[in-house]
Structure 1
Amino acid sequence: MNSQSIIVPQISSFPAHEAKARAILRWLVKLDVVEQNLTTCGRSFNRMAYAIAPGARRFVEHPDALPYGQSVNGLEIVLKRCIYTPQQGFKEEAGCPECRREIGEALFDSLEEWMPGHTDNFICPECRHEDDINGFLFLDPCGFSNLGFIFSDWLDAGLKTSFVEEFAERLDRPVSYVKARL
């Protein structure tokens, strides 16, 4: 399948991100979305992930498309600064929420400063508006954070909007739902 459904909070440096990740994992285990223990069902990070559980069917639009029985099917939790984009066909276009001008090239060039954590913010080269990089406008959903939740090969199943909204409530922050075909 080679896809990812990614939920990422719209903040570069999520405070106490490791504790929040543990709380989200406990919630997902309680809902029976994923199993409690790590197994080798991931795609990256030495393949360790939390395997899909039977209750995941309740939180997707097309339950029959979930990757039950597949070697890659789990939730990977990312606890380091990462850039989440759709990959295939991603238009590196962004706009300033203040002046509404296209600033994609400058913004994506600034990721060299953002990635190592030198800054969380971006300054619009047109109007000098400054905000967390997640505060700018993107044509395709994407995210930039030190916390991310990657559901491997769940894309065709389609996470329900209500599930993504509840995820945001649990994080106490808006989220981006990034759909990536690899």
Structure 2
Amino acid sequence: MNSQRIIVPKMSSVIAHEARARAILRWLVRERVIEEQPSTCGSTGNRMGYALTDGARNVALQPERLPFGEPVNGLEVVLDRCIYTPTQGFLEEAGCAECRREVGEPLFDSLEEWMPGLTDNFTCPLCGHEDDINGFLFLQPCAFSNLGFIFNGWGEAGFSATFLDAFADWLDQPIAVVQVDRPSPAVKA
């Protein structure tokens, strides 16, 4: 399995998201969680990411499960509007924070307007409550944002609560941690 843990701010449009990403990267380099220079240790696009280093052991719940020595073990930063959900078994269920009723189907249908940035908000069709889409209640961790941090191969290692609190402080936003498990890509000869 190629597992990921993705840290995402619970805000659709993070202001100055590129500057915040750079600040997070500098912090992670200072903490020796990642290498300073990107390399081909990612899993998407051009495969560029920031490889993990020994300091990653200090922020993982199960450091022995970190992907040291694996070709895909790096942090990738996403600076585009993206939907972060588990890839297997995601229920697409959501509730309104105001009336506490199920609004999953209309909320997920509204992503057609959210994705191109036409709106950040969703309005509950049952009570009229309007909020950033991340303000609604989800049964499984997921998030919708223009900023995301994909930790490749870290799914089983997890993150310490202290690290997650510090990450949220650096972002100045509450965060979601989304776990994604998917089969490893086939190796071609």
Same fold (TM over 0.5): yes
Gaps of 5+ in 2: 183-189
Aligned to 1:165: 165
Aligned to 2:86: 86
Partner-residue secondary structure (3-state), 1:156: coil
Report whether the alignment pairs 1:4 with 2:14. no
Answer 1 or 2: which has greater strand percent: 1
Letter in 2 for 1:109: D
Residue 162 of structure 1: how far off its partner (Å): 1.3
Dislocated runs of 4+, deviation >4 Å: none
* Structure 2 counterparts to residues 98-109 of structure 1, below 5 A: 98-109=98-109
Query: Identical aligned pairs, as a percentage?
Result: 64
Aligned to 2:139: 139
Partner-residue secondary structure (3-state), 2:70: coil
Report whether the alignment pairs 1:30 with 2:52. no
Report whether the alignment pairs 1:150 with 2:133. no
Residue 6 of structure 1: how far off its partner (Å): 0.6
Residue 42 of structure 1: how far off its partner (Å): 0.3
Partner-residue secondary structure (3-state), 1:55: helix
Letter in 2 for 1:20: R
Between stretches 76-85 and 155-164, larger displacement belongs to 155-164
Aligned to 1:41: 41
Answer 1 or 2: which has greater helix percent: 1
Residue 178 of structure 1: how far off its partner (Å): 0.8
Partner-residue secondary structure (3-state), 1:122: strand
Letter in 2 for 1:127: C
Aligned to 2:95: 95
Distance 2:129 2:6 in 1: 28
Residue 45 of structure 1: how far off its partner (Å): 2.2
